[in-house]
Amino acid sequence: MNPLDKAREFRATVNTTVVRARARTHAATLGRPGVLGKVLRTLVTVLAFVLGRSWMLVQATLAWAGRHLPLSVFGLVVAGLLWLGLELSGWPGSTLTGPAIVWALFWSPGLVLGLWAAVAPAAYRRSRLRVWYVRRWLHGTPARWGRKGSEAVGTAAGLGVRQPDGGVLVPGIKVRFAPGAAVLRLNVVVGQTVDDIVRAASRIATAYGAHGHELRPVKPGVVDLVLFLIARLAPRTAVMPAEFAGAASVGVVPAGVRRDGQRLDLIVRGRHTLVVGATGAGKGSVLWSVAGNLAPAVHAGFVRLWGIDLKQGIEVETGRALFGQVAYKTADAVTVLETLVRIMNERGASMRGVSRNHDATPDAPLHVLVIDELADLMAYSEFEHKREAERLLSKLLTQGRALGVVVLGCVQNPRQEALGGTRGLWPQKIALRLDSETETDMVLGTAAPLAPAHDIPADIQPGGVSGTAGTAYLVTEDGTPTLCRFDYWPDRLIHAVAARYPAPAYTDTPAPAPVADAASAWLAAGGHTPARDDAPANPGPTDNGPANDSATSASEHPKRKRSPRKNPRNRRAADATTQAVDGSTGNTSTTEQETNS
């Protein structure tokens, strides 16, 4: 046997021994049946609890001490000197009590913070205080973040303006911290323009070791330079959307989290959105963040979802009950587009001279068309279908937004052939992980330098939570890029949302797949409405990102025990003869009245 094989054999023997020993120890202790086993398990739980809470106390107190280093060191020195004085003077009582009280007085804010962290660790993790203390402690020396230090960085980065007397004037810089970011407020000095700050921004960001930066104008001559101190955003799992909150909320969806830790509110109303991402980049997360979060409004009749999914309907069929009409074949896709163009034209006729902007109502809902893979329609279909689809889609993209017809299109490849003539017609873009800088340029144009989507690392975990999928740059109409992370939508959540908020029965197009059947099939398969506890955990605000504390959890909205069959709105859908869900289009003559009759 050669030495390599011997080493492998040795390693296998060690592994087996360790596994056996571990199993024996477990069986003899925690896994033990009876009272002793129970006692041991309770002891370990209590110990873990006590150690965990003590660690939170120490962590938070030390974070405070690190942030207020001079004060905390001074407190220690004073307490030490007092102890020394008491010892040397031969104090008759305890020489430790007095110094301990003095030390505790100096450190009292830190101790209070520590106690709070120990009592309510989840709240502490979510709080800005933790971000403030820990970030400040970990990133950069106080001198660099102080006024003088930051102005020195500004000068070195070329922000200074030479004065007639030979001196150099630098913009005043004030630093404040936000979750995951430091914000430098810069006051432009005479002789400077905001462009000078734009030019120096990346040099300043590099000097601070920031992972990215963003410029936000505050008022004339004042700009906030946001330096992002976190490298990536932690994955989050979506939760059951809350009940419909009224017409004002239509078309704005809480889709995930932004780099600054704030909730990402994606505006869908009045905006066509192009989603581009390499395979496995998480286009599904964006699609379901929109469709899933619109579900309550769909159920209430204020939004109507349409789906084109030429990838065999895999994506759209998961939440079929949310959609009115869907198409899984090219010819059906063209029919869906024709229907929407007809709706748009009719709406145009009724709005002409009355209103220039559409407000969603149950009589005139916001129509949202979701297209899963645009290239399948625009590039890989038969020539006539391709040409017709491009013509109809271009019409929707150029005229639809004011008339309440918007499109969310997903594509892997942003090249011309995949998007046809529609590439310049998408006002809002979401660039998930892309394969090359050229693709980033193609999708984002002038915003590309500040939104390097090709730098988002790949982490493909088929069916599981990936470390980076769903991370994207959102570039809104004004060209501002924002790094964000879309929530992950597991299949069972999509099923649960579709069962809870099914679309009403539309008379003008084939009814959604019988909701009761889809829901009960899923329930029969052991499904249950995911609650916060059993969903893949949304991590707390780790150094990688903030917690998912914004959305309403499924556990706060226990699944209603309602059968869609008993709901008169859905009776027609449920009773309808089971129909092919591949987009057979049936009668497509559509008017707003018919739609909602």
Ligand X SMILES: Nc1ncnc2c1ncn2[C@@H]1O[C@H](COP(=O)(O)OP(=O)(O)OP(=O)(O)O)[C@@H](O)[C@H]1O
CB of 373 to ligand X, least distance (A): 7
Indicate whether 282 belongs to the interface with ligand X (CB under 6 A).
yes
Indicate whether 461 belongs to the interface with ligand X (CB under 6 A).
yes
Indicate whether 254 belongs to the interface with ligand X (CB under 6 A).
no
Indicate whether 319 belongs to the interface with ligand X (CB under 6 A).
no
Indicate whether 283 belongs to the interface with ligand X (CB under 6 A).
yes
Candidate list 465, 523, 537, 581; residue touching ligand X; CB under 6 A = 465
Calculate ∠ Cα 268-274-278, nearest 5°.
130
**29: Cβ–Cβ under 8 A, 6 or more apart, which residues?**
37, 40
Q: Is 283 annotated as a binding residue?
A: yes
CB of 275 to ligand X, least distance (A): 9
Length of the chain counted residue by residue:
597
Candidate list 121, 154, 160, 235; residue touching ligand X; CB under 6 A = 235
Cβ pair 279, 485 in contact under 8 A:
no
Candidate list 412, 422, 529, 595; residue touching ligand X; CB under 6 A = 412
Indicate whether 409 belongs to the interface with ligand X (CB under 6 A).
no
Quote the CA–CA distance of 402 and 348 in Å, as a whole number: 9
Indicate whether 587 belongs to the interface with ligand X (CB under 6 A).
no
Nearer to ligand X, 113 or 286 (CB): 286
Q: Which of 576, 520, 501 is nearest to 322 (CA)?
A: 501
CB of 539 to ligand X, least distance (A): 12
Considering only residues 499 through 528, tell me which ones interact with ligand X, judged by CB under 6 A.
Answer: none
Query: Which residue has the CB atom at the shortest distance from ligand X?
Result: 470
Q: Give residue 558's identity as a one-letter amino acid code.
A: P
Nearer to ligand X, 424 or 462 (CB): 462
Cβ pair 427, 272 in contact under 8 A:
yes
Nearer to ligand X, 196 or 376 (CB): 376
Tally: H helices and E strands in the chain: 22, 16
Buried b / exposed e across 466-490, counting CB within 10 Å, b at 16+?
A: bebbbbbbbbbeeeebbbbbbbbbb
CB of 470 to ligand X, least distance (A): 2
Please measure the distance between the N-terminal and C-terminal CA atoms of the chain and give it in whole angstroms: 81
Indicate whether 212 belongs to the interface with ligand X (CB under 6 A).
no
Nearer to ligand X, 280 or 564 (CB): 280
Q: Is 280 annotated as a binding residue?
A: yes
Strands (E), 73-189: 161-162, 168-169, 172-178, 181-187
Q: Is 282 annotated as a binding residue?
A: yes
DSSP-assigned letters across all residues of 159-175: --EE-TTS-EE--EEEE
Nearer to ligand X, 178 or 432 (CB): 432
Candidate list 180, 280, 296, 404; residue touching ligand X; CB under 6 A = 280
Q: Which of 468, 375, 393, 483 is nearest to 431 (CA)?
A: 483
Binding piece for ligand X, criterion CB under 6 A, among 29-37, 192-200, 481-489, 539-547: 481-489
**131: Cβ–Cβ under 8 A, 6 or more apart, which residues?**
177, 178, 179, 180, 261, 541
Quick check: helix, strand or coil at residue 193? coil
CB of 589 to ligand X, least distance (A): 34
Q: Is 284 annotated as a binding residue?
A: yes
Quote the CA–CA distance of 461 and 474 in Å, as a whole number: 23
Binding piece for ligand X, criterion CB under 6 A, among 35-43, 272-280, 491-499, 571-579: 272-280
Indicate whether 312 belongs to the interface with ligand X (CB under 6 A).
no
Candidate list 470, 514, 530, 564; residue touching ligand X; CB under 6 A = 470
Indicate whether 546 belongs to the interface with ligand X (CB under 6 A).
no
Question: Is residue 199 within a helix (H) or strand (E), and if so which, with residue range?
Answer: helix 194-207
Buried b / exposed e across 512-535, counting CB within 10 Å, b at 16+?
A: bbbbbebbbebbeeebebbbbeeb
Binding piece for ligand X, criterion CB under 6 A, among 28-36, 185-193, 466-474, 576-584: 466-474
Indicate whether 466 belongs to the interface with ligand X (CB under 6 A).
yes
CB of 260 to ligand X, least distance (A): 18
Number of residues binding to ligand X, judged by CB under 6 A: 21
Residues in touch with ligand X (CB under 6 A)? 235, 277, 279-285, 412, 461-466, 469-470, 486-488
Cite the annotated binding site for ATP by residue number. 277-284
